[in-house]
Chain A
Amino acid sequence: MDFINGAELLRACNENNISISEAMKLRERAIADDDTTMEKIRYSLSIMKNAVKKPLSHPEKSMSGLTGGEAKKIYDNFEASKGILGSLAEKAIAYSMAVLEVNASMGVIVAAPTAGSSGVLPGVLLSYAEENHLNDDEIITGLFNASAIGYLLMRNASVAGAEAGCQAEIGAASAMAASAITELRGGTPSQCLEAAAMTLANMLGLVCDPICGLVEIPCQSRNASGAMNALISAEIITSGVHFMIPFDEMSDAMLSVGKSLPLSLRETAMGGCAVTPAGCKAAKMFSEKIN
Chain B
Amino acid sequence: MNFLSIFDVIGPNMVGPSSSHTAGAAAIGLMAGKLCPGKIKKATFTLYGSFALVYKGHGTDRALLGGVLGFNTDDLRIKNAFKESKKYGMEYNFIFDKDTVPEHPNTADIELESVNGYHLKVRGVSIGGGKIKITMINDIKVEFTGEYSTLIIKQHDVPGVVAHITQCLSDDSVNIAFMRLFRDSKGGTAFTVVESDEAIPDAIISHIDDNKNVLDTILVQPR
Contact = CB atoms under 8 A, between A and B. Distances in A.
B12 interface: yes
B27 interface: no
Nearest to A143: B10
Contacts of B18: 115-116, 215
Interface in B54-78: 54, 56-59, 62, 74, 76, 78
Given A213-B54, A286-B57, A113 B9 contact: yes
Contact of B76 (A108, A121, A286): A108
A47 B10 CA distance: 11
A28 B5 contact: yes
Interface string B1-32: 10111111111111111110011000000000
A154 B4 contact: yes
A146 B16 contact: no
Q: Which 8 A-B pairs have the closest CB atoms?
A: A103-B16, A150-B9, A106-B79, A147-B9, A290-B56, A215-B17, A147-B6, A214-B57
A105 B79 CA distance: 9
B6 A63 contact: no
A169 B78 CA distance: 25
B7 A44 contact: yes
A115 B7 contact: no
Centre residue among A105, A109, A154, A176 by max chain B CB count within 10 A: A109
29 contacts: A28-B5, A28-B6, A30-B3, A31-B3, A37-B6, A41-B6, A43-B13, A47-B74, A103-B17, A104-B16, A104-B17, A106-B59, A107-B76, A108-B76, A110-B10, A111-B10, A111-B19, A111-B23, A111-B130, A112-B10, A118-B16, A143-B6, A146-B9, A150-B10, A155-B1, A214-B54, A215-B58, A216-B17, A290-B57
Given A47-B74, A146-B10, A115 B19 contact: yes
B29 to A, nearest CB: 15
A47 B129 CA distance: 18
Contacts of B15: 106-108
A21 B141 CA distance: 43
B128 interface: yes
Contacts of B56: 63, 290
Nearest to A2: B3
Contacts of B62: 106
A111 B14 contact: yes
Contact of B7 (A40, A62, A155, A176): A40
Given A31-B3, A63-B59, 14 more contacts: A40-B7, A43-B13, A106-B17, A108-B74, A110-B12, A111-B13, A111-B129, A116-B18, A143-B6, A150-B10, A155-B1, A155-B4, A214-B54, A286-B57
A144 B5 CA distance: 11
Nearest to A112: B10
A28 B10 CA distance: 13
A215 B15 CA distance: 13
B48 to A, nearest CB: 16
B108 to A, nearest CB: 18
Interface of A: 24, 28, 30-32, 37, 40-41, 43-44, 47, 62-64, 102-116, 118, 121, 143-144, 146-147, 150-151, 154-155, 160, 162, 176, 212-216, 286, 290
A160 B24 CA distance: 15
A109 B19 CA distance: 10
A113 B10 contact: yes
Contacts of B11: 44, 110-112
Interface string B92-131: 0000000000000000000000000000000000001110
A213 B21 CA distance: 11
A109 B57 contact: no
A277 B54 CA distance: 20
A154 B74 CA distance: 22
Nearest to B54: A213
Contacts of B129: 111, 114, 160
A69 to B, nearest CB: 16
B94 to A, nearest CB: 13
B4 to A, nearest CB: 5
A121 B5 CA distance: 17
A116 B58 CA distance: 12
B23 to A, nearest CB: 7
